[in-house]
């Protein structure tokens, strides 16, 4: 078993699910279990300045082996898994020499990873895959990235003959709930540029993310006995449904791809007297992003005019922005990454992230941070899987980036 696979299988068994609307940082204390382990393993492989700060951030340094001037490169990955699906009691399965058919994840519950429903599986015929047992997510997002970084650092530490500049590493909590770098000290990290290792399938190289906002829509109704409700009752749930119907039907995640943005209703709750809906808003284009936010406000204003009362209120909060604007002025970063991919036999595919990474916010904090593939598919659910080859190749890419950046 390769080192990167062994690390990955160990890390995914540690429950690190984050939590929304938590008042603590990290949002769940259990994330610290993996962070403490990583700090200890960084010390064991020989890194210096290993620190776990009050927020749980783990940072460390691998000193340069090259005397030539070289940029300080950072690598980051997050330890938390998404609260959208169960992240406890993860039992990864290794499927060797995948035959191209369906994979039975759980016989008892008849949970099947179907190649018809998930055709990307067919790209990996004959390869080894890591899947779930159907009862949890896998956690490749982003424990694959963690395993790949740790394996690359261990290799570099064991082979000082490989020339490279100073390397910084950081493992962060709470990325999945939008708070991954809320307290991150970019100046103290001290990198000239960095990479998150938090992407999708093998070969992806990402310098663009969504612009992102969250919206909380609250609806005030008027509840009376239904037998005497005529002309009096205002059903907050029905008004909430009206509000949602005012948004474009095909601007939803299930109908969009590539550079198409969306509105995504993530939660709805309430009753006749009051209701609440939570949305996320996403678009790569800055102008379209602003239009989407304006439309959400306009829909509320329309309903308030219709009912003659201020019944609907929208609270918008920007979450992160498209990092392309911050990375484009630094073309050397992309040049080094492309060359590293090609050097290990991978053709880079520069595509937009249909999501965000910690790198989105770090780039606007003064640290240009594009994203390297980590290899996972179908993240945040029971059908998640990762090819072993992707784990191995991502680790090789990290090593090669360090080497090529030092070569000038």
Question: Which runs of E-coded beta strand occur in 109-210?
Answer: 111-113, 129-131, 167-172, 193-199, 204-208
Active site annotation includes 175: yes
Which DSSP helix (H) or strand (E) runs through 389?
A: helix 388-407
Dist. CA 8–CA 12, nearest whole Å: 6
Q: Which of 248, 266, 262, 290 is nearest to 354 (CA)?
A: 262
Residue 83 DSSP symbol: T
Cβ atoms of 261 and 251 closer than 8 Å? yes
Which one of 133, 141, 174, 175 is the catalytic residue? Answer: 175
Which one of 15, 17, 80, 392 is the catalytic residue? Answer: 80
Look at strands 262-270 and 274-283 and give their pairing: antiparallel
Q: Which of 390, 388, 382 is nearest to 104 (CA)?
A: 382
Residue 115 DSSP symbol: T
Provide the sign of the torsion angle of the four alpha carbons 368, 328, 252, 216, taken in this order. positive
Cβ atoms of 216 and 276 closer than 8 Å? yes
Residue 378 DSSP symbol: S
β-strand partners of 58: 52, 171
Cβ atoms of 112 and 164 closer than 8 Å? no
Sheet holding 211-220, edge to edge: 262-270, 274-283, 211-220, 312-320
Cβ neighbour number for residue 29 with a 10 Å cutoff: 10
Which DSSP helix (H) or strand (E) runs through 11?
A: helix 3-11
Dist. CA 150–CA 58, nearest whole Å: 13
Cβ atoms of 42 and 171 closer than 8 Å? no
Dist. CA 401–CA 83, nearest whole Å: 32
Residues belonging to the active site? 80, 175
């Amino acid at each position: 078993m390769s080192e990167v696979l062994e690390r990955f299988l160990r890390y995914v068994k540690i429950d690190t699910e984050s939590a929304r609307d938590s008042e603590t940082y990290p949002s769940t204390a259990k994330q610290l279990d993996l962070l403490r382990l990583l700090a200890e393993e960084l010390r064991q492989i020989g890194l210096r300045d290993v620190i776990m700060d009050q927020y749980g951030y783990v940072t460390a340094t691998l000193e340069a082996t090259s005397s030539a001037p070289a940029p300080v490169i950072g690598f980051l990955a997050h330890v938390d898994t998404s609260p959208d699906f169960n992240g406890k009691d993860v039992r990864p399965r290794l499927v060797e020499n995948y035959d191209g058919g369906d994979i039975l994840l759980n016989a008892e519950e008849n949970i099947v990873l179907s190649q018809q429903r998930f055709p990307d599986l067919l790209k990996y015929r004959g390869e080894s895959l890591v899947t779930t047992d159907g009862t949890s997510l896998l956690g490749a997002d982003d424990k694959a990235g963690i395993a790949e970084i740790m394996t690359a650092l261990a290799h570099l530490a064991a082979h000082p003959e490989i020339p490279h500049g100073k390397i910084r590493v950081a493992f962060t909590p709470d990325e999945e709930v939008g708070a991954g770098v809320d307290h991150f000290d970019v100046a103290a990290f001290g990198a000239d540029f960095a990479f998150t290792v938090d992407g999708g399938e093998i070969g992806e190289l990402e310098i663009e993310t969504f612009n992102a906002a969250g919206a909380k829509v609250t609806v005030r109704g008027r509840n009376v006995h239904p037998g005497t409700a005529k002309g009096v009752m205002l059903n907050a749930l029905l008004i909430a449904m009206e509000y949602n119907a005012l948004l474009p039907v095909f601007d939803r995640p299930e109908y969009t791809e590539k550079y198409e943005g969306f509105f995504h209703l993530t939660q709805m709750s309430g009753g006749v007297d009051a209701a609440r809906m939570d949305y996320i808003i996403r678009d790569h284009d800055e102008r379209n992003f602003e239009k989407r936010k304006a439309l959400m406000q306009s829909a509320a204003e329309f309903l308030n005019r219709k009912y003659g009362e201020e019944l609907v209120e929208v609270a918008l909060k920007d979450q992160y922005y498209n990092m392309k604007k911050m990375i484009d002025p630094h073309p050397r970063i992309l040049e080094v990454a492309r060359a590293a991919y090609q050097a290990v036999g991978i053709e880079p595919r520069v595509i937009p992230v249909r999501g965000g990474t910690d790198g989105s916010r770090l780039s606007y904090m003064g640290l240009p941070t594009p994203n390297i593939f980590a290899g996972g598919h179908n993240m945040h659910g029971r059908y998640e899987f990762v090819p072993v080859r992707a784990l191995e190749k991502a680790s090789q890419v990290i090593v090669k980036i360090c080497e090529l950046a030092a070569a000038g």
